[in-house]
Amino acid sequence: GTPLTMHSSWRNNAKLTQADAGVMLHEAVCKALQTAAVCDQLNIGELASMEILARSIQMTQCRWKERILGASSSTHQDEAFLFLGSDPTRGNLCIAPSLN
């Protein structure tokens, strides 16, 4: 998928609105990543500036992860799917383990 598709899935799964903190920034950064990759044809995986943008997305998703996980989930095993993207309904968060 694309960064904007990921944004939509994340927002829907977390039941967030445009008014929630960080949601508009998350969408703008996803749009910037998608534009850089598709329109500008940049190899975004090799650019440090794009990594900074991706970490911004991760931090916003980390802020709202309880909306998807539930407040009681806190073990490493419970959160493994966040990093692996292995669960079809919960794998839409993009959080680097080092940011936790």
3-state secondary structure of 94: coil
Q: What's the pLDDT score for residue 75?
A: 52
pLDDT at residue number 94: 58
pTM: 0.69
What pLDDT does residue 81 have?
A: 54
Q: 3-14 vs 23-38: helix axis angle to the nearest 10?
A: 160
pLDDT 10s digits, 6-30: 999 999 988 999 999 889 999 999 9
* pLDDT tens-digit readout, 35-68: 999 999 999 989 988 988 988 898 888 888 877 7
Q: Helix or strand or coil: residue 100?
A: coil
For position 41, what pLDDT does the model report?
Answer: 94
